[in-house]
A and B are shown apart, each in its own frame.
Chain A
């Protein structure tokens, strides 16, 4: 390279720069620059030609002015002139100006390209280098278009100098990165690969970078590079530190090249050729061995270079994931680094271990370091390292150490840095959920989490707790108790209040038996927190209160007083005010059974991917967590299958036993269209809007009342259900859910439900949200056996009645739900009964996009049934549009007791084919039950009165469901009879009483259910004044337990 001669020091430029540096203010600087610009302009304009030196000087000044942030719009021509100079310094400045101030003037571009071409064609390596650097620096598409064909030739030409080859390789790399489409693949590619064998290590380094990038896009074309890279790597690794003189960096031979080669190898799977593979393994072993050797120098550069190679080797090992031996060695090596003095090393070690933890070979090895990692979490000073430690703990967690890790993370949370708290909270929540062996532990952990982390607990976490508690019957009682206890702390976090409010509102009754947590105490406890909470929480608590009204009628007046207080009724917040007003009205006007319907316990949530996991993924960015999770899930699936397989029988509402299994099922079956809760809730709203007002008209003759309901229900019965807080629902799957479509026209009359999307008045039972298999043949999917069994095709009418019996049993204890569903049609039910009268709303939803023609539902009663049951209905519109929904009202009158159930037969034409579906309508005798409260004395007196053997019916049967007291109680109440407490001397027994209303007679019924926990058996005894009634009720009720 020609040295810059002393005469080339441009004095004018130096003076100008020092002038600018000395400027006192910005204004002065601008003045000076303006003056200089005018000077340059006059010089460039001047008639006499400038010599190369002055041209260079002025171009330099312009460049300097440009770099100070001023616009330069002239001088390009002069710079291009400099390109054709033969002096290095002038050419250099010209290229510098061009690369910094690229101009899109087409004429200039042509000149520039021409100059570059000339330089490339010249045999002068310096000029070629300058030209290549300029191309690379500009790196525009135009440049790529002009030179992408030429550079590969220079690169592979035999007579090109090494330094030019280096530049050419890097220049091509740059062009490929900016516009890969202009870089032609051709025969040069194979020759580029052979550059890996070049004598000059600089060329090899540059070529490796290029090949790595190219190989990522076209792995096939560069496959041959693997063996070459391996042999090159092995030569470097085995060479003594003195062999590669210029490329030895602090006793490490060619560290950059080694790292690049290892990166290149990471583009490919482990080599298939055994020899190459052996050689590579050898290399990697050597690198691992070298890490054990004592350092040759104490300088930090030495260890940095050595470790750089080592870490790249380890990531290659992880990438290959095929050599257990190497993986374990790598893991041990990293384990040593975990306690290294150097913070960076600890960080890198933890980071690499995270990926190692996901490999099946090294997972166990990683787990041996758990103590060290936990220690790092506690003692590490650098927050980013602690963060990695948390990541690693998360990655290495499995069933065996979940309890320990979760406990440690919870401990750490108290002192954790604010920036990573939220992430730790999410991780704890996920781990606790994923590896929960028993759910009491889960509930404890999460409540602890909320207590410790408070503000850092995102909404998703507490949503998730509630989802799980609602979906799992066995944990509800415990959750209620724990929450109640947690709430007793003098200061508790708002999130805890939310969880507490929700859970007590749903399951407060489960702990109400304990005098320490009697309804009033529960209420007072919650209300003591009320005033400290934000508006959304208060709104939730108001919903809890109205739920309490339903759960505990005894504290109704207390709650009404609270709702009536000015601070609620006249609250400045419109949401709170509306809730208070509506709840108050609801509690005063509605009868107990309306309350019970409206405020029914929330149905289970459909299983889906944990919202927390989704949040963590979002936080981390795709790719990092996902892969890890997926691998772990797959690996865990067999573990879970072995230990936790639960027998699923046809009658259980199949909720996956563990949330993980639910998501596994999802993984296996892939995404399925599922009726989202949002849609079913819309349907429910629809029901309320259309059906309920007329229903109420029957109850309240006064127009005023019904008017009130109309308004109130239209606006917000929605807020009745607490689900509005749980607006975590997935967006409705647009695929085929007719209910959502059916409700769509309603949105104009009821904008709040559709717009907020958080109003989940699911007055329907759980079946609405249970997944229905849409694909035929997937009926054996365990998720929905009950519905599958009800699917009937017209050719098999005999099966109809038989199968539908199951269905009838499902509706014995409740009034609403999805009766039937297949690919075409969904039938929803909502019914109300009062004394001997009833009204049933049947919703037919067209799930397809085509019209149903000749749609005729008919009710068929056997002769025997006709005499005892009077059904009246109006015909429905014979055409049902695609996605639409029609409603049919059935008025029911019970004349005398009956055994069978009426059959609903639906005929319609879909496409070209005629469809015929028959379903039993779940109208059973017990629907006309009215509960009767009586004291112990009365009960036994009546019990004795009905001592006639025909009047008694007894059945001893095995329990089909887990024997849970609370569920049993709920079922007996749902059955229709009153549940009498403290009547039976044995508190484990259940005793009920009620009257069946028919038009002709009223039949008193007494029942007694004695569970035997050891034998998992029940004895059910029924005494009624009529033999057939006893028999029928006994049949119906036996099926429920």
Chain B
């Protein structure tokens, strides 16, 4: 189990240090700083073993969070906890920055006391935590005994993530499907690897203890239903061939009843109040690639390089992609660059050794082009330029995996509002992950 938790700033100074077990001493703090934060090598493994002590770290902007243990713990669990911890901190005081941490260190210690006990992770649900860890000063006089016991029974109860007696005038819920699409493509346009990792994030403002049921175009569910209505099988396979998607793996928020998912593959749950991540999933088949990058690199002698890159958008013309950025790496001995582009703005960024081409908006089924002349300085180095891949960033208003929300039903038997009274919003956002094309 986790022996201690440290938060460092970018210089390696300790901002927060909380030790849960005696086997972790003060020297562990220094060991991590010396061996990881100030390490000379660039690539840093998220797990480091120093003198039989394991350090698990995540980095948020300039802040390092490190969990330390001497035992053989489940690394996935530790990282899940660290991410959860980041979420909790973000929910309490916004961006994780050195200043925010310094301003909230009492709160952070309070939180750490609550979410980790003797190194064992406890309830880390923001909604539940907010009921008893508040930023509004001491309220214990105002809190009645009843309220306190209510918190206790809720936190220790079966549904620890939602308290009773929530009331909204307007029952509303927001559903975001956020996907990031990753791609590695050969110069000839062959897909070398591609996958989509997605999340379904839900923001719920519902009264009482609503029972929700979420449906999407999961292939298994669709086929099962098809079997149920045998006569439709032929049609649905022809008609909705593209309608169902194969999900490789998925994980759910703790509120989802896994037994029901296992038996019926239906996702039913009582949601926490406010924002939470309902599920995470990954698909690798039938991915819609929103952009195609066609590179053309020509070396003219030893001192010149000509680069031409064409991007094509590959989705419905009615949709608009946003925040498009193409990054074309340049050789390390570049001494001068001239760029011409038809759309957007392009610039050689010496500090990043790349030409960065930015386009604000681009509709579907369009194409655009950039050409650059790169002057090189002759070097003594015999090494050839490694030609790193061209990478791309964008945002599109659909799910590249093809996932569709089919329904989200809400039942609240005790209070008298029905599924129809709930206002529901669904939004799809597809972003680029590591979207690279070799050149």
Contacts and interface: CB of A to CB of B under 8 A. Distances in A.
Interface string B321-356: 000000000001111100000000000001111000
B333 A74 contact: yes
A73 B381 contact: yes
B384 to A, nearest CB: 12
Given A31-B351, A31-B352, A34-B351, A76 B335 contact: no
A103 B380 contact: yes
Interface stretch (A39-47, A353-361, A544-552): A39-47
B351 A41 contact: no
A115 B333 CA distance: 27
Interface string A101-140: 0010100100000000000000000000000000000000
If over half of A's interface residues share one DSSP class (helix, strand or loop), that class is named, otherwise mixed; here it is helix
Contacts of A958: none
B377 A74 contact: yes
B263 interface: no
Given A24-B10, A25-B10, A31-B352, A38 B335 contact: yes
B134 interface: no
A45 B380 contact: no
A44 B352 CA distance: 20
A45 B335 contact: yes
B335 A44 contact: yes
Interface string B1-35: 00000000010000000000000000000000000
B67 to A, nearest CB: 22
Nearest to A32: B351
Nearest to A42: B335
B351 A35 contact: yes
B350 A73 contact: no
A31 B351 CA distance: 4
A69 interface: yes
Contacts of A39: 350
A44 B42 CA distance: 29
Interface in B100-157: none
B436 interface: no
Given A24-B62, A25-B10, A41-B334, A73 B379 contact: yes
B375 interface: yes
B40 interface: yes
Contact of A73 (B10, B42, B333, B352): B333
B333 A34 contact: no
Nearest to B383: A73
B353 A73 contact: no
Interface residues of A, number: 21
B324 to A, nearest CB: 23
Given A24-B10, A41-B333, A45-B335, A105 B350 contact: no
Contacts of B383: 73
Contact of A45 (B42, B353, B375, B381): B375
B379 A74 contact: yes
Interface string A43-58: 0110000000000000
A73 B381 CA distance: 6
B380 A41 contact: no
Contacts of B335: 38, 41-42, 44-45
B246 to A, nearest CB: 39
Contact of B350 (A34, A76, A103, A108): A34
A105 B379 CA distance: 11
Contacts of A26: 42
Contacts of A73: 332-333, 379-381, 383
A922 B380 CA distance: 86
B318 to A, nearest CB: 40
A951 B379 CA distance: 112
A26 B62 CA distance: 11
Contacts of A74: 333, 377-381
Interface string A21-35: 000111000011011
A38 B379 contact: no
Contacts of B375: 45
A26 B59 CA distance: 14
Nearest to A33: B351
Contacts of B352: 31, 34
A330 to B, nearest CB: 47
A654 B383 CA distance: 73
Contacts of B336: 42, 45
Interface in B353-376: 353, 375
Nearest to B381: A73
Contacts of B377: 41, 44-45, 74
Contact of B334 (A25, A38, A76, A103): A38
A73 B382 CA distance: 9
B57 to A, nearest CB: 15
A27 to B, nearest CB: 9
A337 to B, nearest CB: 39
Contacts of A76: 380
A8 to B, nearest CB: 26
Contacts of A38: 334-335, 350-351, 353
Interface string A65-79: 000010001101000
B62 A25 contact: yes
A105 B10 CA distance: 41
B398 to A, nearest CB: 33
A108 B380 contact: yes
A108 B351 CA distance: 29
Contacts of B379: 73-74
Nearest to B9: A24
Nearest to A74: B379
A26 B44 CA distance: 13
A998 to B, nearest CB: 74
A26 B333 CA distance: 21
Nearest to A105: B380
A76 B350 CA distance: 21
Contacts of A25: 10, 62
A16 B83 CA distance: 38
A70 to B, nearest CB: 10
A866 to B, nearest CB: 79
A76 B40 CA distance: 26
B38 to A, nearest CB: 9
A44 B377 CA distance: 8
Contacts of B40: 69
Contacts of A31: 351-352
Given A39-B350, A45-B375, 10 more contacts: A25-B10, A31-B351, A34-B351, A34-B353, A35-B351, A38-B335, A44-B377, A69-B40, A73-B380, A74-B381
10 contacts: A26-B42, A31-B352, A34-B352, A34-B353, A35-B350, A41-B335, A42-B335, A44-B377, A73-B381, A73-B383
| 7 A-B pairs with the lowest CB-CB distances in the bound complex, closest first | A38-B350, A45-B335, A73-B381, A31-B351, A41-B335, A35-B351, A73-B379
